[in-house]
Structures are given as C-alpha cells and as structure tokens.
Amino acid sequence: MSRVPVFSIVGRSNSGKTTLLERVIRGLRELDIRVATIKHDTHGFDIDHKGKDTYRHREAGAEVVLISSVERLAFMQELREELELVELVALVEERAKVDLILTEGYKTGSVPRLEVFNQGRYTELVSDLEATHLTAIVTDRPESIEIDKPVYHWDDVDGVVRHILEVTGLGG
C-alpha cells in the first residue's frame, strides 16, 4: 500500500489531460504541495538522444543508466515487461520526498481518478460512470453531464485542486 496518496487523470487521447495536469500541478505547488507525476505511454518512448554518452552506454548494453547533475537526476532502466503502477509508485516513494503522486493515463486499477472529457471531440467517456474509483469529470460542457459525482469545467482548476486534495486526504 502506498504511503503517498496517488490520484489519476484519465481520458481519451488529445482530450486535454496534460494541459489540465499542468494547471493542477501549478495550483498544488502554490499550496506548497510537492508533486510527483507518473505518465503512462502505450506507444513506447525514449528520453535519450542518439550520439549522447548515455545513449551510447545503453547501446553498449547497460541495463541501467543514471545521469546526474547539480539540478537533475535521470534514471533509465531497460525493462523486459511493463511495471505495474504500484511498482512505479514504490520507486517514487523510495527516491523522492513528495506529498502527492499524480498519474496520467492509468485508466484501470484501484486509484481514485477523474476523467477529462472533451465533448467537442468525443461522444463517450472512457470510464464507466458507475466505477467506484471515478471521483469526478472535468469537461468543456459540464451542464450536459448528469452524474452523481462532481463535474467541473476545465477552467475551474481551483475546484479540481480542492477535489483532489479532498479525495486524497490532503485537504484538511
């Protein structure tokens, strides 16, 4: 079980998840809440660049590459299978002192979540409205959604931040 509260932002591709997450992180930082994020990428990714030393280390066969400076640390590990969210949360807890972990893109599991729903682009939510872990919806047209859970306009960042703090137990 996680020692740090975890809350997920979910939704379809290009629904506004990252934009909302950026705004929520800024709002939480204004309240002196230290935030870590975990982003799920179904397509694969690479933060390294061909020709750079760390890239060359990986290409030579290093399974773990760490790069560190005065300002930043990056830890890259080759995986044989995708880690579960609980394993990623444990890594964050092990390495960083944060108050809250926000995830983007983890649509399943037992983590409380809100869905970003762009009604100008999509006609259906990705989440089951009855799902116990769905705690709210953030949308461009909140008046059109009837649900027994909070519905926020995506410009109501303060409301979304308050909601996340309440759900995670950090609000009081």
**Residue 112 in domain:** yes
Residue 123: inside a domain:
yes
> Is 77 domain-assigned?
no
pLDDT digits (tens, 9 = 90+) for 75-133: 877 788 888 888 888 888 888 899 999 999 888 778 999 999 998 889 888 888 777 89
| Residue 40 falls inside a structural domain | yes
Looking at residue 94, which CATH number applies to its domain? Answer: 3.40.50.300
Q: Which pLDDT belongs to residue 46?
A: 63
Q: Is residue 96 part of a domain?
A: yes
Is 68 inside a domain boundary? no
- Per residue in 52-72, pLDDT (tens digit) is 888 888 888 788 787 888 887
Give the pLDDT of residue 31: 96
Task: State the residue for tokens 């944060």.
Answer: 98
Q: How many domains does the chain have?
A: 1
Query: For residue range 25-43, what is the model confidence (pLDDT) as tens digits?
Result: 999 999 999 999 988 766 5
CA 95: distance to chain centroid?
Answer: 17
Residue 1 lies inside a defined structural domain of this protein: no
Backbone angles phi, psi at 74, to 5 degrees: -125, 135
pTM of the model: 0.86
Domain that residue 124 falls in? 6-45+82-168
